[in-house]
Structure formats: structure tokens, C-alpha cells
Chains A and B, each alone.
Chain A
Amino acid sequence: MLLSIKNLHASINGKEILKGIDLEVNYGEVHAIMGPNGTGKSTLAAVIAGRDLFEVTEGEVKYKDKDLLKVPVEERAREGIFLGFQYPVEIPGVSITNFLRTALNELRKYRGLDPMSAVEFLKLMEEKKKLVEIQSNLTNRSVNEGFSGGEKKKNEIFQMAMLDPVLAILDETDSGLDIDALRIVAKGVNHLRRKDNAFLIITHYQRLLEYIIPDYVHVLFEGKIVKSGGKELAIELEEKGYDWLKNT
């Protein structure tokens, strides 16, 4: 088992957002999480990644069979957890190249590897840039600064490709993307999809799931997973909307 969440409750400023989540993700699986706005999808992603803004009040999260909740953010990342942010933050003055090189070398150090040489690093960057079809000068710019919505999302996928995570959580990476950008994002995910990693894909629309075929679909509603199923559940949701869930 890669990720196991049991009865997870989390709140912010005393307001409970997650109200008992159960979820299991195995290696090699792609899970989609769907649900209306404001039901706690991003909160769930943030809690797994270790954002201390949210307080876990009950329940447990195990990752690689170890308790995850006490582990600092950066160590979770080094153990392979990657969060593709719904709203990637702009960091003026920090170039993508410098940032990613720092990140990659910290990951390597954690795994007992030597830092990557500048040449190797640049080669890797070129390769991954091609994968997500981002302009080559984008990486000289400050992280997300002045990027269009699409560029920000592609940049998240680019970083994911560079860091090659074990558990990638993509939080509404598809929102606001046109069909071409969506296809690129899907291509990035499908390219990385392997037996030894897993994806948690948070999305609003069934659209993305036409390109990334999930193994499981879960519906998150008011802080709880109210329904789980196969990929056909996504289609059902698309047709019926979320209103019918209120009665379940």
C-alpha cells in the first residue's frame, strides 16, 4: 500500500473541512477525486503534502506504511510526494532553473546521490521541456511570475516530470485549460505513469479523464468521500451533476 488514509478529520481556524476521509492508493493506480467547489479537495491535497495551515484533529495517514502526519513538508517531498498546485504561487526573483536545480539536488542528496552536473541538469531540462511543450526561455524566468494560467499549469507538470515523484497529486491542473493544453498535461501524466508510482487527480470535469483513464473515481462531498467507483462514475457525474449526491 502506498497511501492509506483512515477517518481523516482536518480543520482550519476551528472550522472542520475534512470530516472523516477514507482512501487507499496502491502503486500503479490512478485515482480521480471529483466534487463540487469548496468541499475540501484542495484541503485533502494540502494535508497529504503537509501544509500546517490545516490541523489534523482525528484519523491517520500512512505513506509507504509509515505515519506521515509528523513528517515535515520537505521530507514528504523527498519521499516522493508531489503536489501540483491549483493556484501555483509566483516567486519573483527565483528562476525556475535555479529553483529546480536546488530541489533536484536536495532530492538526490536525500537518496545518497551526488549532485547533478550542470550539463546533465540542462539535458534533463531540455528533455522534459519537450514533453510538456513549454517554451525554452520560460525556465529562465522567475517561478510563475507573469505566467498565463496555462503556463502555470504546464510548469507544474514540467516540475513533476523533472522530480519524478512516487505519489503525484494534481489539484485541478485541468481547470481553465484549453483542449491543447489539456492534452499536453495528460501526455505528461501518461508518460510518467508506471507500476511503481501513483496519481491522485483532483478534477472538476470528466473531460481530463478522457485522456487520463483512472482506475478509480471518488466523489468528495462536504468533507467526505460519498461514493467511489470505476471510470464510469465520472461519466455519470458529468451527466447528473452533483445535486443528486445530497440525498446519499
Chain B
Amino acid sequence: MKEIKTDTKEIISKERMIGLFEKNREGLFMTDSEFMSRIRKDAMERFRELGFPTTKLEEWKNTDLKASLEKGYGYYLHPVIDVDVQKVFHCNIPHLDTAIIAQLNGWYVSKDVPLMELGNGMILGSLAEAFKEYPRIIEKYYGKYADFTSSGLTALNTAFAQDGIFIYVPDNVSSQKTIQMVNVIHHPESIFLQSRNLIILGKNSRISLVHCDDSYNQQASFANIVTEVFIGENASLDHYKLQNMNNDSTLISSVYFNLEQAANLESHFISFNGGLLRNNTRILFNGKGGTANVRGLYLMDRKQHIDNHVFVDHANPECTSSELFKGILDENASGVFNGHVLVRRNAQKTNAYQGNKNILLTDTARVNSKPFLEIYADDVKCSHGSATGQLDSEAMFYLRQRGISEENARMLLMYAFANEVISKISIEPLRLRIEDMVKKRLRGELSVCEHCVLHCNTPERPLEFDIDVTKI
């Protein structure tokens, strides 16, 4: 491995990325299959046209990437493990080599097997490896849902995609245990990374997936992550996205869900911390009778920025979608909620709800909320709501009048507000862990090193959330 590192500390620009792509076209990407190579080429062409999004685009009006892009980052085309992997994942992930699907800086981490095929036919592991081992599955699903024609960032990710997580659940398979995908960003200097995940649920299958974005140190980072999720006919996915990144991080996470007939999605986006977080969530009902419930909770302070964009495409009849995003913003934090529900002409008997509620704790915290329904069918039930305000002063007085300190009264009210989202988490140990993290976050005690849902099995933390993949 020669040129592992390129352009250290340079700003991220369209020209730099084009140059980097050209430079590696004859080298690194030479091993690509014909399929991959064509996708890369098409995606790069589209990126040349679109470039990085600017605030001139309606979709990016309230989130400016300029300062983030200009910070200067190294870009790696190979995994660089000059940190002790065991140390990074120490405590947080017991049984690293067998149990967890982990990524470090966007690269799959494993001690021995990069890709495992389990007894029930499930395949879990590295996407890079899946490109080689399972070309037929790849060609059927990869790049089919993450539409790069409308997004410069998704185009760029598709042009450069090298590794990430691959999960394949065959038809009729249900996993009893929760699968955890952990992406830790940890590097001695600032880096730009783009990982790519592909998750496929066959017909009538069912899994729970916890998907974490964590930082480990205080270095700046810029991550452009794309995840494609195919949920087959009558399959169910219980999905949790947890984000605890440092204040200098920029994370653009685009998740494309495709729901086949009668498929079911429960998704939770919980953002504890991060410099600039943008979640693009796109849901396509590609068959009749699907259900998607998406909930979000974000707790931001300092100069942090969170942007949740949710697009739900009711392309087929009799589907139900609901969105509830709730945020608490303190100090100078800013938030954006942009919900767009499109009900196409043939999508009769659609049921759709969008809600966004925010608490602003200071005069300097801001939020921009835009729920939007675009309806072309006539037999539908759609509604939306948006509310932004301060902590209820009447309720504060009521609680304090009973002897509760101002601090605790605030905590009770904020926690109650957050709990509408947390209480919907159906995996109990996960809910308890998230409750704990939310409480800590609201008290200002959550450390950026507190990763996701995994932790040591120590006496003070008896709750072990241990997943042994071999038992799935």
C-alpha cells in the first residue's frame, strides 16, 4: 500500500475530489467489477455537475457546509490503523472480534473474518468484501435506492465508495438479537471520510438494528455517509440511529429506505451531540400497505447545528407514515426540520402525519421548522403540526411550588418532552441506556467518549448489552 494518504489538511473542494478520483481511476478503482466501475463513473459525472451543496439550494438553505468544508482534512483511500483498535473499542464493545459490526473511520474493522455467513443464511460484515464475494446480491441492490442524480453528496459518496457495512437477511429469517453497527471516527488529525452501507431484508424477515455514529477524540472530521436499506415484502426493520459526535465534527448521513409491499419500518434518530449534523432520511413506499414510523430527538447546545430532512414518498396506496421529531436547543445551537411528504396521485388511502416540536432554552437558540405535505391523491388522511417555544413557565412554577428546585424542575420538563420519543423504543436495555444518556446529556454530563449503547460489564454498570453474532 503506497499512497495511502492524500492531500493532508487541504480543504475539501470539488476540484480536489475530481482530481483525487482521476488519480485513482487507473489505480485503486482498477479492481472494480464492470458494474461498480460504471456506477462510479456515472456518479462522478453527476458530481461534476452538482458539486457540494450550497445554501442557494432550497434543500440546503438553512445549513451551510462552507465553514466545515474549509477546515482542511486528510483523505484516505485505505484503512489507516495507527491506533490501537482494541483501545478505541475498549469497554464499549465487548467481544469485538465476534460480536459487533464495527467501522473505524468508515472502514470495517475485524480481527479475522471480514464477512460472516451465519447458519441461518444471514451475511454480516464488510461491504468491500461483499463487492467481491456476493456480486449478484450487490448488482441487484447496490446503488438502486440512493439516488445520486439529485444529490451531489450522494453522487460523491457513490463515486468513492470503498467500504462500510453489509448486512443481508434472507427471506423468512428473524434475528432474535439486536445487531449493532458502530462507526467510530478516531484519527490523530482531521479527516474526511465517506463510508457506504448496504442493508437488505428479504421477504418476511425481521431485524433490529442499532446504528451509531461516534467520535472518540476531539479532532475535526467530515463524514459523508450513505446507507441503503431494502426492506422486502412484509419484512420489518426496527432501526435506531444514535449520534454522539464531537463539536468539531460534520456528519452528513443519508439513509435511503425502500419499503416493499406491507413492509414495516420503525426508525429512531437520536442525536446527542455533534458539530454539524445533517440527517437525510428518504423513505420510498415501493408497494402497497407499508408502514413507516420515524421519530427523532436532538439535544444541541453551544454552536451546534442539527438538520433533519425527511422525505416520504407515498408512491403506492394504503401506506401509513408518521414522523415526530423533537428537539431541545440551548445556548447558540440551531436546528432545522424539513419534512416533506409526497402523496402521489395513485396513493389512495394514505395516512400521513408529520410533527416537529422544539424547546428553545435561550434567546439565541434558533430553529427552522418546515413540515410540508404535497398531496395529489384525494382519499387520504394527512396532517402536520409544528410547535416551538420555551419551557412552560406555568409548569415550572407548579413544580417549584411543590419544593422541586429550579434545576430539577427544568430536568423533569425537558426529560418529559424527550420521553415522548424515548418511550417508543421497544428494546428495553436499549431504552434504559438511551434514557440514561439523555439524562446525562441534559445535565451536561455526557462525554463524547460515551459511545452508543455499548459499555463494559462492570459492577457499576451491570447492564450488559452484549451481542454475540454467532447466536443471531
Contact = CB atoms under 8 A, between A and B. Distances in A.
Interface of A: 49-51, 72-74, 77-78, 82-83, 85, 88-89, 91-94, 98-100, 102-104, 106-107, 110, 142-143, 159, 163
Contacts of A92: 416, 420
- Ordered nearest first, which 10 A-B pairs have the shortest CB separation? A93-B416, A77-B403, A103-B402, A73-B400, A89-B394, A74-B400, A94-B416, A107-B403, A78-B403, A106-B403
Contacts of B394: 89
B413 interface: yes
B397 interface: yes
Contacts of B406: 72, 74
Contacts of A98: 412
Given A99-B399, A102-B404, 4 more contacts: A50-B401, A73-B397, A93-B420, A106-B403
B392 A89 contact: yes
B405 interface: yes
A74 B404 contact: yes
Given A74-B403, A107-B403, A93 B417 contact: yes
Contacts of B33: none
Query: Chain B interface residue count: which class?
Result: 20 to 34
B402 A77 contact: yes
B418 to A, nearest CB: 8
Contacts of A72: 400, 406
B395 A89 contact: yes
5 contacts: A91-B398, A93-B415, A93-B419, A103-B399, A163-B402
B403 A91 contact: no
Contacts of A107: 403
Contacts of A83: 401
B397 A51 contact: yes
B408 interface: yes
Contacts of B401: 49-50, 73-74, 77, 82-83
Interface in B405-457: 405-406, 408-409, 412-413, 415-417, 419-420
Interface of B: 392, 394-395, 397-406, 408-409, 412-413, 415-417, 419-420
A93 B397 CA distance: 16
A178 B413 CA distance: 32
A44 to B, nearest CB: 15
A85 B404 CA distance: 16
A92 B387 CA distance: 15
A89 B398 contact: yes
Contacts of A89: 392, 394-395, 398
B403 A94 contact: no
A143 B403 CA distance: 16
Contacts of B395: 89, 91
Nearest to B407: A74
A63 B126 CA distance: 70
Contacts of B397: 51, 73
A170 to B, nearest CB: 13
Nearest to B398: A89
B412 A106 contact: no
B397 to A, nearest CB: 6
Which of B397, B403, B406, B409 has the most C-beta atoms of chain A within 10 angstroms of its own C-beta? B403
Which of B398, B408, B417, B420 has the most C-beta atoms of chain A within 10 angstroms of its own C-beta? B398
Contacts of B404: 74, 99, 102-103, 106
Contacts of A85: 398
A229 B419 CA distance: 51
A37 B471 CA distance: 70
B408 A91 contact: no
A39 to B, nearest CB: 22
A94 B413 contact: yes
B70 to A, nearest CB: 41
A41 B226 CA distance: 62
Contact of B402 (A93, A110, A142, A159): A159
A94 B392 CA distance: 13
Contact of B403 (A51, A110, A142): A110
Nearest to A110: B403
A46 to B, nearest CB: 8
Contacts of B413: 91, 94
Contacts of A74: 400-401, 403-406, 409
B439 to A, nearest CB: 13
A159 B398 CA distance: 12
A13 to B, nearest CB: 15
A94 B402 contact: no
B405 A106 contact: yes
A106 B402 CA distance: 9
Contacts of A100: 402
Contacts of B408: 102, 106
Contacts of A78: 403
Contacts of A163: 402-403
Contact of B412 (A102, A104, A110, A159): A102
Nearest to B406: A74
A235 to B, nearest CB: 32
Contact of A91 (B399, B400, B405, B420): B399
B315 to A, nearest CB: 35
B398 A88 contact: yes
Contact of B416 (A82, A91, A106): A91
